[in-house]
Amino acid sequence: MVTLSVESLTGTGLGGSSRVVSQQEESEKPLAAAQDAVLVVDDARTLVDANHAATRLLGLSAKQLIGRRFDDFLEPSVDVEAAWQSFLDSGEQTGELRVLRPYGEVRGVEYCATGRLVAGRHLAVFRAVA
């Protein structure tokens, strides 16, 4: 199972007691169980974490997703630089777009994104639409 972690959001480990780890694990359960795809990207738009729903949506394992740029999953017609700058300027964004899956399959999604959830990390939640 893929789980989003505090470490993926902050880029640092937690360390500390087993009680802290237990609390961290408890806080990660809702994201891991979410039916909507949740992705964490860094400032370079590189995927640093994804929940299980994201792997289903994008058609790749977590190992195949992590380290790839989010841009790889967008149609070539998307002006990624302009959209990214607008997102960073406002700190949040919602809308619809089409994501590319393996073998050329395209899936429509609605999304809601929050910029700089923590320094250098941005969170996006996606839901497939018909």
Q: What are the C-alpha distances in Å from 19 to residues 2, 74, 126?
A: 22, 41, 32
Burial bucket for residue 59 (CB in 10 Å: 0-12, 13-18, 19+): middle
Judge whether 82 and 76 are in contact, CB under 8 Å: no
Domain-embedded: residue 80: yes
The residue type found at 24 is Q
Sorting pLDDT into bands at 50, 70 and 90, what band is 27?
A: low
Q: What is the mean pLDDT of residues 49-67?
A: 96
Report the number of distinct structural domains present in the chain: 1
Sorting pLDDT into bands at 50, 70 and 90, what band is 14?
A: very low
Sorting pLDDT into bands at 50, 70 and 90, what band is 37?
A: very high
Task: Please tell me the chain's helix, strand, coil percentages from 3-state DSSP, rounded to the nearest 5.
Answer: 40, 35, 30
> What pLDDT digit, counting tens, does each position of 45-56 carry?
999 999 999 999
Sorting pLDDT into bands at 50, 70 and 90, what band is 29?
A: confident
- Distance separating alpha carbons of residues 69 and 88, to the nearest angstrom: 16
> What pLDDT digit, counting tens, does each position of 71-116 carry?
999 999 999 999 999 999 999 999 999 999 999 999 999 999 999 9
- Looking at residue 116, its pLDDT comes to 96
Domain-embedded: residue 1: no
Provide the domain limits for residue 38.
6-128
Domain-embedded: residue 107: yes
Q: What is the mean pLDDT of residues 35-62?
A: 96
The domain that holds 79 is classified in CATH as 3.30.450.20
Domain-embedded: residue 30: yes
Burial bucket for residue 110 (CB in 10 Å: 0-12, 13-18, 19+): middle
Domain-embedded: residue 21: yes
